Structure 1
Amino acid sequence: MVIVSFCDDRDSSAADPASTKRSITGGDQIDASLSNANAHLIRIDAQPGDYVRGQFSGRGVTLSLVDEQGNHQRRLANGTGSKESFYFIHNDGAPYRLKVQAGVPGATDAEYTLNFSEIIPKADQVATQSPPASPRLRTLQVELLRSATSDVRRSKLIETFWDTIRQQGTPLVEFDSVRPPLGEDQALVTFLYRGAKHRVQVFSAPSGNHDEMQRLGDSDVWYASYRVPRTARIGYKIAPDVPRFAGSFWEQRRAILATAQLDPLNPNSFPERPIDRFAGESIIALPDAPHSKWLDRQANVPAGSVQRHEFSSEILGNRRDVYLYRPFGYAPEKPGNGLLVVFDGRRYLEDVSTAEVLDRLIFAGEIIPTAAILISNPSSASRAEELPCNPKFASFLSEELLPWAEHQQVTAEREKTVVVGASYGGLAAAYMGLKLPQLFGHVYSQSGSFWWSPGSKPGVPQAAPQWLTRQYAKDDKSNVRFRLEAGHFEDHGETSIFDSTRHLRDVLEAKGYDVDHQEYATGHGYYYWRHTFPDGLIAILGKR
């Protein structure tokens, strides 16, 4: 609400006969005539920063903003006779006045209409928030707006909300009353956090990025919602109050690691018992997410053996741990044995439970007796250098490691030898299929980094991406079979694992390769790969 009063510019104390001093609110209208006056000055007794918008109509008269001394500040309407809209912010200094003036000096009986469509005080100029997609949050939003004048009522509503969330756990998973409606195969997953001061981010899934969470009004409820397939499996962290500072893009991006932690309201994590709240990740599997029974503990399954060896490479000039898995009752010279050669060996042993999965699959008769060579990395730096399509690493395998493993009586025919890896390891596995087809009959790539090209880095645009796919396109076909897997949540622009895996599949099939290509509602990480690993082994080495 504002107070307006009329006078003409000849005598600022004389009230205009057409109007009196009165309150004006949004939607009010003034109809007046200049009569014999040269102009009307309309005082606006409003607060600095108030937003005023309206409409003016009057033929041959203009509407302007002037300051206290009558100096022109802004033309609002030109007097065309039709309705003209105007907008302004009330002055922070001396108050404005509206000046209605005849366009032709000496004109009389000029009628005009001034409509104040909306007057918004500065205190009420807050960004409106769209209704959340989540029906539960939408209900809370409406309840909080209805209780805007009662702090006690608002506090009780929020506490009741969080009490319910603590009982049922996070994230929220909803199927009905979502806006806009979900598809039949979709669910809405909403991540929640309480206690942040400035900002909160969802780290990793399902976008695979660092996503800003929204705040529900001025409450302590932070949220981010995603439409995902009902078969989705999601691993994530919550990062409250990530620091902002002057630094490079990558320095600022890595700052999320300072606060990224387990979701305090989600009891499920991977691994099951992390050493602290900053280790591992929170997880959720939607009701239709496929579960592999081969990850479950089973009684009476005889365990194979795992031996750690420290292996020194002259070709690579470093040392690393290599683990040899032999199944229970392993007969090294028996025809029909299988062999896995696995990159990121320690991670596959610990996070994928490779030895236990092999024990169960072999005991159940799902796959042939299969040994494994699990190759670890000396460091993260060496991994980034050795695994992405490195000829020296291929020589290390063919000239040093595999001959040594044969002396350890861990070997198999080429047709039953599988090279396995994930991410850079999946890229390396496919590279070995190109460079060492005489040693490997099968390539098993989980989320292979096929976006890679020499000199590239994750997230950095490339002039000539997907180097390995281009090599397969131009080289002669060999007798290697492929199992390729990728997740729907691994689709990130120019470094999209999802798209680049599809492209490799298309190129391989065009060349005549045998390709088993699988896609899942998953992201990037061992939590996902462990669930698809048993099915991949059955597809490659299964007795049936």
Structure 2
Amino acid sequence: MAAQWLREEAAGQPAWWQKVASHGTPIVEPHDDRHVKMTWLWRDPAGDERHSPIRRVYADINGITDHHSTSPSSLTRLPGTDVWYGAAVIDRRWRGSYSLIPITDRDLPPVFSDDETLRDRQQRAWWVSLFPLAIADPLNRLSLGPSHRPRPVSLAQGPDADDQSAWQAADRPWDEARLQLFQWRSERLDNQRRVWLYASGDAAVEANRPLVLLLDGQNWIERHALLPVIEHETARGHLPPACWLLIDAIDGEHRENELPCNAAFWQAIIEELLPQAQKREAFSEEGARTVVAGQSYGGLAALYAGVHWPERFGHVLSQSGSFWWPTVQFVTQFEKRHELEEGWLIRQVRQRDAAAPTLTVIQQAGDREADIEFVNRQMHQALTAAGHRAEYRVFSGGHDALCWRGGLVDGVRQLLSAMK
């Protein structure tokens, strides 16, 4: 269909663009049993090549675009028109975020050094310099839900991508009176941050309600509207009533210090934050009725909490957990992965005390994040060997919140449903 449209004489005319807008982009068409062809189209606001300063339009597709290339592929202009187009063959199960990056002469790739180290540094600096130019796809019809922060991203997905229909509720009104926002001033950590406490549904015994502790809470409040989804899923009986405690990361520096296996951070949560939260809403103090969840460094931190305080955090959802930490060479020199020492927490899991409580763990990682998928397989093997109840699922996608959001709801649902 897309190829046929591009061959039409009317390509680039207003009626043609209206047809594209009505259909939405990317255009997804069958390719073979396992793949689809996705075609992206962008309308140059300045017109054709005689009138427009746009020289290239990069499609930055999560898990697909090579961010290390000195000459990333660009969409192609259809000569004599305002049409830019490009296509990729992608797994039918894939889901991911993407941005379009139109650039002028000034932002074209520089002349790169022959020295490999310097060239890599130059390439990274050039690619990062393009980030402010990224835009969402104006022809994409898939809603990301409300956001307090503008996001220059859009969503693309294959016909067999995991079901995320629960997230259609992100746009719906919800009972905001159930949400409490407060400041947690930590003496142990000598800092303060926002914390969101949300009580979903109506529990018969409030003190027995499960607790779901979610790291990087700001992302799930400000960027991805999780709470209306939780309210809707609870009302439909797909989630049991629970207390959701979402913890702000403060900023990137605090996140990098507190989330990678930091005992003081978790001791502060246990000794300071949880008692404060419990004064506001009753919930269970049992690890058997507590889920801790996070993504990336948060996925590492969630499992760290379970391994070291299993009596308080008995259920763990780790999404794209950074189990390479602190051996960054898994990321920077992935080709040497079989020569590297396993991540610190993996080694801790292998040394488990046989008398320690057994954890219930769900791990998720994407097939488009090779380094993360590799270390998650290592961790899954370690958890299983140590006697924990561990499930590992690989989804088709990358290091991407638009993949994590579905896995978060599904994973928490599975963990809560298994509680006695």
TM-score normalised per structure 1: 0.62
Q: Does 1:255 align with 2:110?
A: no
Superposed displacement of residue 261, structure 1:
0.6
Higher relative contact order (CA 8 A, sep 6+): 2
Matches within 5 A, 1:47-196: 136-137=2-3, 159=13, 165-175=20-30, 182-195=31-44
What do residues 461-500 of structure 1 show as CA deviations (whole Å, max 9, x unaligned)? 3854633223222333541110111222323xxxx22222
Counterpart residue number, 2:87 = 225
- Which deviates further from its counterpart, 257-266 or 403-412? 403-412
Is the CA contact (8 Å cut-off) linking 1:453 and 1:464 kept in structure 2? Answer: no
Superposed displacement of residue 190, structure 1:
2.3
For residues 421 and 164 of structure 1, the distance between their equivalents in structure 2, rounded to whole angstroms, comes to: 41
Counterpart residue number, 1:215 = 76
For residues 132 and 195 of structure 2, the distance between their equivalents in structure 1, rounded to whole angstroms, comes to: 32
For residues 344 and 36 of structure 2, the distance between their equivalents in structure 1, rounded to whole angstroms, comes to: 37
Sequence identity percentage: 29
Superposed displacement of residue 206, structure 1:
4.2
Q: Does 1:198 align with 2:55?
A: yes
Superposed displacement of residue 167, structure 1:
4.6
For residues 201 and 5 of structure 2, the distance between their equivalents in structure 1, rounded to whole angstroms, comes to: 58
Q: What SS does the aligned partner of 1:310 have?
A: strand
**One of 427, 433, 437 as aligned partner of 2:306:** 433
Q: Which amino acid aligns with 1:498?
A: E
Superposed displacement of residue 343, structure 1:
0.5
Gapped runs of 5+ residues in structure 1? Answer: 1-134, 145-152, 176-181
What do residues 170-204 of structure 1 show as CA deviations (whole Å, max 9, x unaligned)? 212121xxxxxx43132111223354733222224
What do residues 236-255 of structure 1 show as CA deviations (whole Å, max 9, x unaligned)? 10111145458744322211
Q: Which amino acid aligns with 2:369?
A: E
Counterpart residue number, 1:423 = 296
Which is helix-richer, 1 or 2? 2
Counterpart residue number, 1:101 = none
Counterpart residue number, 1:355 = 227
**One of 156, 164, 174 as aligned partner of 1:284:** 156
For residues 248 and 361 of structure 2, the distance between their equivalents in structure 1, rounded to whole angstroms, comes to: 23
Tell me: CA distance 1:294–1:171, structure 2 relative to 1, closer, same or farther (3 Å).
Answer: closer
Counterpart residue number, 1:236 = 98
For residues 199 and 218 of structure 1, the distance between their equivalents in structure 2, rounded to whole angstroms, comes to: 13
Is the CA contact (8 Å cut-off) linking 2:174 and 2:228 kept in structure 1? Answer: no
What do residues 388-411 of structure 1 show as CA deviations (whole Å, max 9, x unaligned)? 222221222223222333344443
Matches within 5 A, 1:311-350: 311-330=184-203, 334-335=207-208, 337-350=209-222
Q: What SS does the aligned partner of 2:240 have?
A: coil
Superposed displacement of residue 228, structure 1:
2.1
Q: Which amino acid aligns with 2:253?
A: A
For residues 287 and 169 of structure 2, the distance between their equivalents in structure 1, rounded to whole angstroms, comes to: 32
Is the CA contact (8 Å cut-off) linking 1:415 and 1:442 kept in structure 2? Answer: yes
Counterpart residue number, 2:352 = 475
Tell me: CA distance 1:162–1:327, structure 2 relative to 1, closer, same or farther (3 Å).
Answer: closer
Superposed displacement of residue 312, structure 1:
1.0
Counterpart residue number, 1:518 = 393
Q: Does 1:452 align with 2:325?
A: yes
Q: What SS does the aligned partner of 1:427 have?
A: helix
For residues 238 and 435 of structure 1, the distance between their equivalents in structure 2, rounded to whole angstroms, comes to: 43
Tell me: CA distance 1:202–1:381, structure 2 relative to 1, closer, same or farther (3 Å).
Answer: same
- Which deviates further from its counterpart, 262-271 or 307-316? 262-271
Q: Does 1:400 align with 2:272?
A: yes
Tell me: CA distance 1:222–1:294, structure 2 relative to 1, closer, same or farther (3 Å).
Answer: closer
Tell me: CA distance 1:270–1:294, structure 2 relative to 1, closer, same or farther (3 Å).
Answer: closer
What do residues 341-377 of structure 1 show as CA deviations (whole Å, max 9, x unaligned)? 1101122234444333333343333343211211112
Tell me: CA distance 1:274–1:383, structure 2 relative to 1, closer, same or farther (3 Å).
Answer: closer
Q: Does 1:387 align with 2:259?
A: yes
Tell me: CA distance 1:250–1:459, structure 2 relative to 1, closer, same or farther (3 Å).
Answer: farther
What do residues 63-105 of structure 1 show as CA deviations (whole Å, max 9, x unaligned)? xxxxxxxxxxxxxxxxxxxxxxxxxxxxxxxxxxxxxxxxxxx
Is the CA contact (8 Å cut-off) linking 1:429 and 1:444 kept in structure 2? Answer: yes
Q: What SS does the aligned partner of 1:323 have?
A: strand
Is the CA contact (8 Å cut-off) linking 2:179 and 2:196 kept in structure 1? Answer: yes
Is the CA contact (8 Å cut-off) linking 2:293 and 2:316 kept in structure 1? Answer: yes
Q: Which amino acid aligns with 1:510?
A: A
What do residues 415-445 of structure 1 show as CA deviations (whole Å, max 9, x unaligned)? 0101111121111111111221121110111
Q: Which amino acid aligns with 1:318?
A: N
Is the CA contact (8 Å cut-off) linking 1:368 and 1:543 kept in structure 2? Answer: no
Aligned length: 384
Counterpart residue number, 2:337 = none
Which is strand-richer, 1 or 2? 1
For residues 39 and 269 of structure 2, the distance between their equivalents in structure 1, rounded to whole angstroms, comes to: 46
Q: Which amino acid aligns with 1:198?
A: R
Q: What SS does the aligned partner of 1:389 have?
A: coil
For residues 304 and 513 of structure 1, the distance between their equivalents in structure 2, rounded to whole angstroms, comes to: 38
Counterpart residue number, 1:58 = none
For residues 203 and 428 of structure 1, the distance between their equivalents in structure 2, rounded to whole angstroms, comes to: 29
Tell me: CA distance 1:532–1:158, structure 2 relative to 1, closer, same or farther (3 Å).
Answer: same
- Higher gyration radius (CA): 1
TM-score normalised per structure 2: 0.79
Q: Which amino acid aligns with 1:501?
A: N
